[in-house]
Structure 1
Amino acid sequence: MASPSTPELNPAAYRRWISAFWTAAPLVMRGVVVEGAEHVPLTGRLLLVINHLSYLDTPIVGMAMPRLVTPIVGERFEHSVFTPVLTAAGSIYINRGEVDRTALRRASAVLENEGCLAVAVEGQRSPTGALTHGKPGAAFLATRTGSPIVPAAIWGTERILPALKRLRRAEVHVRFGEPFRLPHGRIRGAELDHHTEYIMRQLAALLPERYRGVYSHMS
């Protein structure tokens, strides 16, 4: 039995819900274009870092992933269509605007148990539709647990609901990058900020220019 600090992932229920989302996807999207899924290790601890444009990002990234993934989420979707899949995924709810040590312990437990954890590095949905400055949580987890990182860029999710209002369907893209690692250890302060910047640059490199936001100066 999992310890109280370890989220309960229900693989069978998770797979059923992901399959249901794929079945329903053509009703609300023109398609989901997935690139680079071969970069995702199928076993072992893994930190998946994503940008965040819409509350639809989490289920769509789950659809695109070739393995089960537990997300860190900042909002509780009570009585939502997403509640069952978020529950099945063992989602970790984090309190924004503070150091949520309980959530960090649970996130670390997922990685230490060789699971895959998804983190939106910006910490919230982008108000501009493009990248904002990253938060240090992902770099903290990667350095403390020694987990490899795979960046996953997603775009088009912010257009799904506006398109439906016009009786149209948007196309969504998910692009995975190659795995990389940060130094393993108890890293803090400016060094952690440096690693966060590196993560964000890897993520920005996967996005079209118009989505790079504060990282649009990249060559």
Structure 2
Amino acid sequence: MWRYRLARFVFTIVQRLLCRFVVVGRENIPPGPYILVVNHMSTADSVLVLLGFPAQEWRFFAGEKWADHPLWGPLMSWLGVIFINRGQVDRRALREGLAAIEEGAIFALAPEGTRSKVGAMQPGKDGAAYLASQARVPILPVGLSNTDVLFASARRGRRATMTLRIGQPFTLPDLGRRVRSRDLQAYTYLIMIHIAALVEPRHRGVYSDSPALAALLRGEDPWPHCLASLQALGAPDEGTGLGQAPIA
């Protein structure tokens, strides 16, 4: 646990120099284990997630390209990252992730699988849905806003406000049968809708006009809309990739 306390101490100093940081919804954090899902727009996203939560045992997914990075590689390994082969189903990484959750770790990942270059959400991949369906633990949605302008603002000498909103934990609907690949895509859509509800409208991207998101924002159950919304996006029959830590 000491490594997370040390990391939070160092990151807090850096954060205060670069930006203002607002956290909303800490009262929604459940006891572990759970799976944290978050949108991804900046290399600073993982740091902000760590700062927004109490010091605890974390595990993450991150692309294998970071394993050899002279700075991020050792730091990410030290903080519990599981490196994955991005763009394919890495069964070794999935097994390691499930084992970590079973041992009580908090597992965090960005279902989009890579950092958005346009400041708005991209379609999610199925890793979080698979882990949650197998581990049967709550999912905690988190929305980050304005991290896409963090470094540009800092270069201009401005301290922009970064906001981290923590939503209500939820569980995946029980289908009453074995979960299939298509079900994972619908589950993923549900997860992404919960994230989209927590970010500023300009960040909602491909989910902006979703009937499922509109239902959730009205306080209604979004699940009945998820499969229809998925088909409207023209998603393929088979999901690929796992999602990863919000750092790539």
TM-score exceeds 0.5: yes
> CA offset at residue 72 of structure 1?
1.4
> Is 1:17–1:85's contact at 8 Å kept on the other side of the alignment?
no
Aligned to 1:111: 101
> CA offset at residue 210 of structure 1?
0.7
Aligned to 1:205: 197
Counterparts of 1:126-141 in structure 2, within 5 Å, are: 126-141=116-131
The TM-score, its normalising length taken from structure 2, stands at 0.78
The superposition leaves residues 74-98 of structure 1 with CA deviations (integer Å, 9 ceiling, x where unpaired) of 2416222x45542332111111111
Aligned to 2:185: 193
Aligned to 1:4: none
Q: Identical aligned pairs, as a percentage?
A: 38
Aligned to 2:113: 123
Q: C-alpha separation between the residues in 2 aligned to 1:132 and 1:70?
A: 23
Secondary structure of the residue aligned to 1:76 is helix
Q: C-alpha separation between the residues in 2 aligned to 1:172 and 1:85?
A: 23
Give the counterpart of 1:63 among 37, 51, 54: 51
Larger relative helix fraction: 2
> CA offset at residue 159 of structure 1?
1.1
> Is 1:123–1:135's contact at 8 Å kept on the other side of the alignment?
yes
Aligned alpha-carbon RMSD (Å)? 1.7
Q: C-alpha separation between the residues in 2 aligned to 1:35 and 1:84?
A: 31
Aligned to 2:7: 17
In structure 2, list runs of 5 or more residues that go unmatched.
215-248
Q: C-alpha separation between the residues in 2 aligned to 1:44 and 1:213?
A: 30
Q: C-alpha separation between the residues in 1 aligned to 2:169 and 2:158?
A: 35
1:72 is the counterpart of 2:61:
yes
1:44 is the counterpart of 2:32:
yes
> CA offset at residue 176 of structure 1?
0.4
The TM-score, its normalising length taken from structure 1, stands at 0.88
